[in-house]
Amino acid sequence: MKPWLHDILACPICKHYPLNLIVFSYENDDIFFKELIDDYFRKDLDFHINNKIPELFKEKNQIYYIRDNIIIEKTSINIYLDLIKSSLEEMNYVKDNTLFTYSKKCLNLTKKEVKNKLIEFSNEQNQQKINKIYPELNFINKLKIETEIKDGLLFCSKCERWYPIIDSIPHMLPDKYRNKEDDIEFLKIHQKSLDPEFLNKNLKPFNL
Protein backbone atom coordinates (compact mmCIF):
# COMPACT_ATOMS: atom_id res chain seq x y z
CA MET A 1 0.00 0.00 0.00
CA LYS A 2 1.38 3.37 -0.96
CA PRO A 3 1.01 6.25 1.54
CA TRP A 4 -1.01 8.37 -0.92
CA LEU A 5 -3.85 5.84 -0.61
CA HIS A 6 -4.18 6.74 3.06
CA ASP A 7 -5.24 10.23 1.91
CA ILE A 8 -8.52 8.89 0.55
CA LEU A 9 -9.41 5.87 2.68
CA ALA A 10 -12.37 6.10 5.06
CA CYS A 11 -13.88 3.52 7.38
CA PRO A 12 -16.23 1.36 5.27
CA ILE A 13 -18.53 0.84 8.27
CA CYS A 14 -19.03 4.29 9.81
CA LYS A 15 -17.46 6.37 6.99
CA HIS A 16 -15.14 8.18 9.43
CA TYR A 17 -12.14 9.95 7.91
CA PRO A 18 -9.18 10.05 8.27
CA LEU A 19 -8.07 6.68 9.53
CA ASN A 20 -5.03 6.14 11.70
CA LEU A 21 -2.25 4.23 9.97
CA ILE A 22 0.26 2.13 11.89
CA VAL A 23 3.17 0.81 9.82
CA PHE A 24 4.85 -2.47 10.80
CA SER A 25 7.11 -2.93 7.79
CA TYR A 26 7.96 -1.58 4.33
CA GLU A 27 8.82 -3.18 1.02
CA ASN A 28 11.56 -0.52 0.79
CA ASP A 29 14.76 -0.81 2.83
CA ASP A 30 15.96 1.94 5.15
CA ILE A 31 18.58 3.03 2.59
CA PHE A 32 15.70 4.19 0.38
CA PHE A 33 14.57 6.59 3.11
CA LYS A 34 18.12 7.75 3.79
CA GLU A 35 18.53 8.62 0.11
CA LEU A 36 15.25 10.57 0.20
CA ILE A 37 16.62 12.67 3.04
CA ASP A 38 20.02 13.12 1.37
CA ASP A 39 18.34 14.28 -1.84
CA TYR A 40 16.07 16.65 0.03
CA PHE A 41 19.01 18.44 1.64
CA ARG A 42 20.98 18.80 -1.60
CA LYS A 43 21.69 22.49 -2.17
CA ASP A 44 21.70 22.21 -5.96
CA LEU A 45 18.31 23.58 -7.01
CA ASP A 46 18.85 22.39 -10.61
CA PHE A 47 18.93 18.83 -9.27
CA HIS A 48 15.42 19.25 -7.87
CA ILE A 49 14.09 21.04 -10.94
CA ASN A 50 15.49 18.37 -13.28
CA ASN A 51 13.49 15.72 -11.43
CA LYS A 52 10.51 17.14 -13.33
CA ILE A 53 8.30 16.62 -10.32
CA PRO A 54 6.23 18.70 -10.32
CA GLU A 55 5.44 20.02 -13.80
CA LEU A 56 4.84 23.76 -14.06
CA PHE A 57 2.74 25.41 -16.79
CA LYS A 58 2.34 29.09 -17.61
CA GLU A 59 -0.87 29.91 -19.45
CA LYS A 60 -1.58 32.87 -21.73
CA ASN A 61 -3.38 34.67 -18.92
CA GLN A 62 -0.08 34.65 -16.96
CA ILE A 63 -1.54 32.26 -14.40
CA TYR A 64 0.68 29.39 -13.35
CA TYR A 65 -0.64 25.83 -13.17
CA ILE A 66 1.03 22.79 -11.73
CA ARG A 67 0.62 19.02 -11.39
CA ASP A 68 2.59 16.12 -9.94
CA ASN A 69 2.17 12.46 -9.04
CA ILE A 70 -0.14 13.27 -6.12
CA ILE A 71 -2.23 16.02 -7.72
CA ILE A 72 -2.37 14.59 -11.22
CA GLU A 73 -4.73 17.16 -12.76
CA LYS A 74 -3.25 20.46 -13.92
CA THR A 75 -4.24 22.84 -11.11
CA SER A 76 -3.73 26.49 -10.22
CA ILE A 77 -0.87 26.89 -7.76
CA ASN A 78 -3.01 28.19 -4.90
CA ILE A 79 -5.40 25.24 -5.09
CA TYR A 80 -2.50 22.85 -5.62
CA LEU A 81 -0.76 24.07 -2.46
CA ASP A 82 -3.97 23.70 -0.44
CA LEU A 83 -4.29 20.10 -1.67
CA ILE A 84 -0.65 19.29 -0.91
CA LYS A 85 -0.94 20.78 2.58
CA SER A 86 -4.06 18.70 3.13
CA SER A 87 -2.14 15.62 2.05
CA LEU A 88 0.57 16.51 4.57
CA GLU A 89 -2.03 16.85 7.32
CA GLU A 90 -2.88 13.17 6.82
CA MET A 91 0.68 12.32 7.86
CA ASN A 92 -0.26 13.34 11.41
CA TYR A 93 -2.33 10.16 11.51
CA VAL A 94 0.60 7.93 10.51
CA LYS A 95 2.72 6.13 13.08
CA ASP A 96 5.91 4.33 12.07
CA ASN A 97 6.38 1.30 14.34
CA THR A 98 9.06 -0.29 12.19
CA LEU A 99 12.64 -0.91 13.27
CA PHE A 100 13.89 1.60 10.70
CA THR A 101 15.68 4.82 11.61
CA TYR A 102 15.46 6.89 8.43
CA SER A 103 11.81 6.15 7.67
CA LYS A 104 10.95 7.73 11.03
CA LYS A 105 13.17 10.70 10.19
CA CYS A 106 11.33 11.10 6.88
CA LEU A 107 8.00 11.13 8.68
CA ASN A 108 9.19 13.70 11.22
CA LEU A 109 10.68 15.83 8.44
CA THR A 110 7.35 15.81 6.63
CA LYS A 111 5.35 16.78 9.70
CA LYS A 112 7.63 19.67 10.64
CA GLU A 113 10.16 21.25 8.28
CA VAL A 114 8.54 20.34 4.96
CA LYS A 115 5.09 21.36 6.15
CA ASN A 116 6.36 24.66 7.58
CA LYS A 117 8.16 25.58 4.37
CA LEU A 118 5.03 24.98 2.32
CA ILE A 119 2.96 27.12 4.67
CA GLU A 120 5.58 29.86 4.54
CA PHE A 121 5.61 29.83 0.75
CA SER A 122 1.79 29.89 0.61
CA ASN A 123 1.80 33.01 2.75
CA GLU A 124 4.29 34.72 0.42
CA GLN A 125 1.91 34.37 -2.55
CA ASN A 126 4.74 34.64 -5.08
CA GLN A 127 3.92 31.95 -7.63
CA GLN A 128 6.90 32.75 -9.84
CA LYS A 129 9.26 31.55 -7.12
CA ILE A 130 7.68 28.14 -6.67
CA ASN A 131 11.01 26.52 -7.56
CA LYS A 132 12.04 27.50 -4.01
CA ILE A 133 9.91 24.64 -2.70
CA TYR A 134 10.83 22.06 -5.35
CA PRO A 135 12.96 20.16 -2.80
CA GLU A 136 9.87 19.85 -0.57
CA LEU A 137 7.55 18.89 -3.43
CA ASN A 138 9.96 16.27 -4.77
CA PHE A 139 10.40 14.85 -1.28
CA ILE A 140 6.64 14.60 -0.65
CA ASN A 141 6.00 12.98 -4.03
CA LYS A 142 8.71 10.37 -3.63
CA LEU A 143 7.69 9.57 -0.07
CA LYS A 144 4.00 9.24 -0.91
CA ILE A 145 4.35 7.49 -4.27
CA GLU A 146 7.54 5.40 -4.14
CA THR A 147 7.15 4.10 -0.59
CA GLU A 148 5.39 0.75 -0.27
CA ILE A 149 3.93 -0.30 3.09
CA LYS A 150 4.18 -4.08 3.38
CA ASP A 151 2.39 -4.78 6.67
CA GLY A 152 0.44 -2.47 8.91
CA LEU A 153 -2.93 -1.60 10.33
CA LEU A 154 -5.64 0.98 9.64
CA PHE A 155 -7.70 2.06 12.64
CA CYS A 156 -10.95 4.00 12.86
CA SER A 157 -10.94 6.13 16.00
CA LYS A 158 -14.71 6.60 15.83
CA CYS A 159 -16.01 3.01 15.75
CA GLU A 160 -12.71 1.44 16.92
CA ARG A 161 -12.53 -0.98 14.02
CA TRP A 162 -9.18 -2.00 12.66
CA TYR A 163 -8.22 -3.31 9.25
CA PRO A 164 -5.02 -5.25 8.48
CA ILE A 165 -2.57 -4.39 5.72
CA ILE A 166 -1.04 -7.67 4.54
CA ASP A 167 1.57 -7.91 1.78
CA SER A 168 0.84 -4.31 0.73
CA ILE A 169 -2.94 -4.83 0.45
CA PRO A 170 -5.40 -3.20 2.89
CA HIS A 171 -8.18 -5.64 3.82
CA MET A 172 -11.24 -3.53 4.59
CA LEU A 173 -14.06 -6.04 4.72
CA PRO A 174 -17.35 -5.74 6.66
CA ASP A 175 -17.35 -7.63 9.97
CA LYS A 176 -19.43 -10.55 8.70
CA TYR A 177 -16.86 -11.36 6.02
CA ARG A 178 -13.83 -11.29 8.30
CA ASN A 179 -12.14 -14.42 9.61
CA LYS A 180 -11.74 -14.34 13.40
CA GLU A 181 -8.85 -16.81 13.50
CA ASP A 182 -6.90 -14.98 10.81
CA ASP A 183 -7.46 -11.57 12.40
CA ILE A 184 -6.39 -12.70 15.86
CA GLU A 185 -3.34 -14.42 14.39
CA PHE A 186 -2.44 -11.15 12.65
CA LEU A 187 -2.63 -9.27 15.96
CA LYS A 188 -0.52 -11.93 17.68
CA ILE A 189 2.18 -11.75 15.00
CA HIS A 190 2.39 -7.95 15.28
CA GLN A 191 1.67 -7.60 18.99
CA LYS A 192 5.17 -6.30 19.73
CA SER A 193 4.66 -3.56 17.14
CA LEU A 194 1.47 -2.32 18.82
CA ASP A 195 1.22 -0.14 21.91
CA PRO A 196 -0.45 -1.78 24.94
CA GLU A 197 -2.75 1.25 25.04
CA PHE A 198 -3.99 0.36 21.57
CA LEU A 199 -4.65 -3.27 22.46
CA ASN A 200 -6.60 -2.16 25.54
CA LYS A 201 -9.15 -0.42 23.34
CA ASN A 202 -12.50 -2.00 22.56
CA LEU A 203 -11.21 -3.12 19.19
CA LYS A 204 -13.72 -4.37 16.64
CA PRO A 205 -14.47 -6.84 15.31
CA PHE A 206 -11.85 -8.89 17.22
CA ASN A 207 -9.13 -8.38 19.80
CA LEU A 208 -6.63 -10.55 21.64
Residue 132 to residue 117: CA distance in whole angstroms:
9
pTM to 2 decimal places: 0.93
Instruction: Say yes or no to pLDDT of 63 above 80.
Output: no
The alpha-carbon radius of gyration of the chain (Å, integer) is 19
Q: For residue 59, what pLDDT band results from cuts at 50, 70 and 90?
A: confident
| CA atoms within 13 Å, Cβ hemisphere of 136 | 22
pLDDT band at 62, cuts 50/70/90? Answer: low
Q: What's the whole-number average pLDDT of the chain?
A: 94
Percent of the chain's residues with pLDDT above 90: 83
Q: What are phi and psi of 155, to 5 degrees?
A: -130, 130
Paired strand residues for 95: 22
Q: Where are the beta strands (DSSP E) in 86-191?
A: 94-96, 149-155, 162-166, 169-170
pLDDT greater than 80 at residue 125: no
